[in-house]
Amino acid sequence: MERRTIFGHRLLPVALVAPQFLLTLVFFLWPACEAVWTSLTRQDPFGLHSQFAGFDNFVELFTDSLYRDSIGRTVFFMIAVSALSMSSALLLAVFADREIRGRMTYRTLLIWPYAIAPAMAAVLWILLLQPRIGLIGVLLNRHGVSWDYHLNDRQAMLVVVLACAWKQVSYNFIFFLAGLQSVPRSVLEAARMDGARGWHRFRTITFPLLAPTTFFLIVVNLVYAAFDTFGTIQALTQGGPGKATETLMVKVYRDGVVNLDIGSSSAQSVVLMIGVIALTALQFRFLGRGGRRESAA
């Protein structure tokens, strides 16, 4: 959309755009280019020399079975977190949309967790599930279930999925509720007249009308599960035991920051960037809208 009326200055607008533009250049484009460049070079362990290595880092990455395992694990994790979080949120939103006493209170009780940091969600779940002090963790162990997510791979995955999905429910709830509220009451009335009830009405009328919201949330949740869960995983299991909860994001951190394998880490960063760009493109292609990073975080 173009305005008819504009201001005639030439230098002022450049000055207005400059701060945003410079920050983008320095903190986004430059590092992104550097990541691409570093991923194509090989460095000696001291970082003194580097030489062009083509796609060697990528070939190495994808022939590494540890990396392929990490991809599989991440995909499983992303789907589990998104499915669990979105289905719980949808269920709660459907009920919170009904005309009942105290619905505003219920809504507030379901919306406030938006304020919880991913890493804080981990702390709260430790209080529940930590094997020696957690309320439920201690109970499990006292009743003969051997529960310790620091030792058991499956339990570790279960705990990070639960905590990460839990943290995202309020976000999904807000959007599903807004989506439900924008379904025209007249459409639902008409369906009621036609005798469509309960589940049938939801499945044939409401859910299809929620499709844009659902699709948008699928993308947001996948991105959230891939990137924003780093703090939760780090605080709960640090990717362990072994590599049981090491998602791609945790692996980039471990390889780059902890093990200082810059070439491989850069290649991994580039793979992640391609992943994010693909997801964002998908979102634009099907929805023609964007803008979600900060709010998803």
Partner 1 sequence: MNPRRDPVTHVVLLFGAVLFVAPLWLALVGSTQDPAAIARGDLSLLPGHEGFSAYARVLAGPVPRMLLISLGMALAIAIGKIVISVLSAYAVVFFRFPGRKLAFWLIFITLMLPVEVRIIPTYSVMAGLGLINTFTGLWLPLIASATATLLFRQVFVAIPDELVEAARMDGAGPLRFLWDVVLPVSAANIAALFVILFIYGWNQYLWPLLVATNPKLDTIVIGIVKMVAVETETDWSAVMATAILALLPPVVVVLLMQRWFVAGLTESEK
Size of the site for partner 1 (CB under 8 A): 104
Q: Which is nearer to partner 1, 59 or 127 (CB)?
A: 127
CB of 70 to partner 1, least distance (A): 15
Q: How far is CA 144 from CA 136, 150, 159, 173, 204, in A?
A: 13, 17, 19, 36, 46
Nearest partner of 292 among 229, 224, 233, judged by Cα: 224
Q: Does 108 bind partner 1 (CB under 8 A)?
A: yes
For 29, the token pair is 């484009």
State which of residues 80, 246, 249, 251 lies at the interface with partner 1 (CB under 8 A).
249
CB of 59 to partner 1, least distance (A): 20
Residue 10 per-residue DSSP state = S
Residues 121-180 that bind partner 1 (CB under 8 A): 122-128, 130, 132-135, 138, 166, 169-170, 174-175, 178
Could you tell me the sign of the dihedral formed by the alpha carbons of 259, 261, 266, 267, in that order?
A: negative
Contact track, partner 1, 2-21, x by CB under 8 A = -xxxxx-xx-xxx-xx-xxx
CB of 146 to partner 1, least distance (A): 15
CB of 72 to partner 1, least distance (A): 19
Q: Which is nearer to partner 1, 190 or 277 (CB)?
A: 277
Pairwise CA distance, residues 85 & 173, whole Å:
9
Q: Which is nearer to partner 1, 205 or 252 (CB)?
A: 252
Q: How far is CA 221 from CA 6, 74, 145, 249, in A?
A: 39, 13, 32, 15
State which of residues 146, 204, 259, 295 lies at the interface with partner 1 (CB under 8 A).
295
Using the rule CB under 8 A, give the single segment among 55-63, 78-86, 88-96, 188-196 that binds partner 1.
Answer: 88-96
CB of 192 to partner 1, least distance (A): 12
Q: Which is nearer to partner 1, 205 or 223 (CB)?
A: 223
Pairwise CA distance, residues 264 & 261, whole Å:
6
For 100, the token pair is 């009942």
CB of 124 to partner 1, least distance (A): 4
CB of 289 to partner 1, least distance (A): 6
Residues 180-239 that bind partner 1 (CB under 8 A): 216, 223, 227-228, 230-231, 234-235, 238
Amino acid at position 146, single letter: S
Q: Does 85 bind partner 1 (CB under 8 A)?
A: no
Other beta carbons within 10 Å of 35: 19
Kindly write down the DSSP assignment for every residue of 59-102, as one continuous string: HHHHH-HHHHHHHHHHHHHHHHHHHHHHHHHHHHHHHHTS--TT
Nearest partner of 272 among 14, 11, 32, 29, judged by Cα: 32
Kindly write down the DSSP assignment for every residue of 110-152, as one continuous string: HHGGGG--HHHHHHHHHHHH-TTTSHHHHHHHHTT----TTT-
State which of residues 58, 114, 215, 286 lies at the interface with partner 1 (CB under 8 A).
114
Contact track, partner 1, 253-272, x by CB under 8 A = x--xx----x--xx--x--x
Contact track, partner 1, 24-63, x by CB under 8 A = xxxxxxxxx-xx--x-------------------------
